[in-house]
Chain A
Amino acid sequence: MTLEERFNEIIRDYSERVYYHVRRFVNSHEDADDLVQEIFLKVWNALPSFRGEAQTYTWIYRIATNEALNALRREKVRAALRFSSLDEVMERRIDSDPWFSGDAAQRALSKAVARLPEKQRQVFILRYYDEMPYEQMSKVLDTSVGALKASYHLAQEKIRAALGEGD
């Protein structure tokens, strides 16, 4: 199998999952679209050196999660330059996203997730939305299963509190 054939296989198997994964971080269809292209460009550039020690699934998710976090860090700087905060930017995006088709409770959940600290947000998105097993998450985030469970628990508590405040 040539590199290009392998790459096409990865696109077929992972492009949709990667899109939904990063969309949860950036809360915008356009930004998620740009990000998916950057991620697959990185995948293509790194493919010749990918030996397959890690599962393709783990490898792709690791690249996607890192790129999504980098995009959020850039957004945080841009928000600070406009005397705003990342939380405010994300709230506005969720409210004005024409491709958000959920109800009020799902919108409130998305906003609560956007306000989580970075690590808890990663864990929550991978576990709750992507339904990734902890063992797999452990490989993607290079964190122990115990620490991931603790992070997920904390994230749930914060989300419950945020949603309770909204009632």
Chain B
Amino acid sequence: MIRKMDISTPEGYFETLQERLRLIPSRRQRPSVVRRLSPYVAIAASIVLAAVLGNFILKTTAAPSEEDLGWEYVSYLAQSLDPDGILPPQESEEMTSGDIVAYLINEGISVEQLNAYYNEEDD
């Protein structure tokens, strides 16, 4: 006989225990929808989490490009820093006399007018 005299159980415990144990096969055959879906939900949640984290890490570590900032914002910054456009362009091309002549023709300024302007300055 098992020596169990020093421990006891609630009244009718073994009857209810056996009833609960007999439910195990039915519980195992028909797992709940949540239980069936939970592995897939967990996988989907992991993918979303990885994507969000990856995006966050990339955004915080990589230098922002013009596209990221938006062209309008870059233009605004350039305007703010150099409102009169007095700063020389970073990659200036060398201006030739041909370019000057083309500019003057385009603006309708004759060489005579230009000479007159410089003569006034000299005076």
Contacts and interface: CB of A to CB of B under 8 A. Distances in A.
A99 B6 CA distance: 9
Interface residues of A, number: 33
Given A8-B22, A44-B25, A102 B6 contact: yes
Nearest to A110: B6
Given A29-B9, A99-B9, A15 B4 contact: no
Nearest to B26: A4
Nearest to A106: B6
Interface stretch (A71-79, A82-90, A127-135, A142-150): A127-135
Interface in B22-77: 22, 24-25, 28
B87 interface: no
Contact of A40 (B3, B14, B24): B24
B17 interface: yes
A7 B24 contact: yes
B13 to A, nearest CB: 8
B114 interface: no
Interface string A32-63: 01001100110011000000000000000000
A165 interface: no
A3 B22 CA distance: 12
Contacts of B2: 17, 20, 129-131
Given A8-B22, A40-B24, A44-B28, A16 B6 contact: no
| Interface-centre pick from B1, B18, B28 (highest chain A CB count, 10 A) | B18
B103 to A, nearest CB: 81
A37 B20 contact: yes
B12 interface: no
Given A16-B14, A131-B1, A40 B6 contact: no
Given A16-B14, A44-B28, A45-B28, A36 B21 contact: yes
Contacts of A100: 6-8
A20 B4 contact: yes
B3 A19 contact: no
Given A19-B14, A129-B2, A101 B25 contact: no
Interface in A104-153: 106-107, 110, 128-131
The 3 tightest CB contacts between A and B, nearest first, are A102-B6, A106-B6, A101-B8
Given A11-B21, A15-B21, A99-B9, 4 more contacts: A7-B24, A16-B14, A99-B7, A102-B5
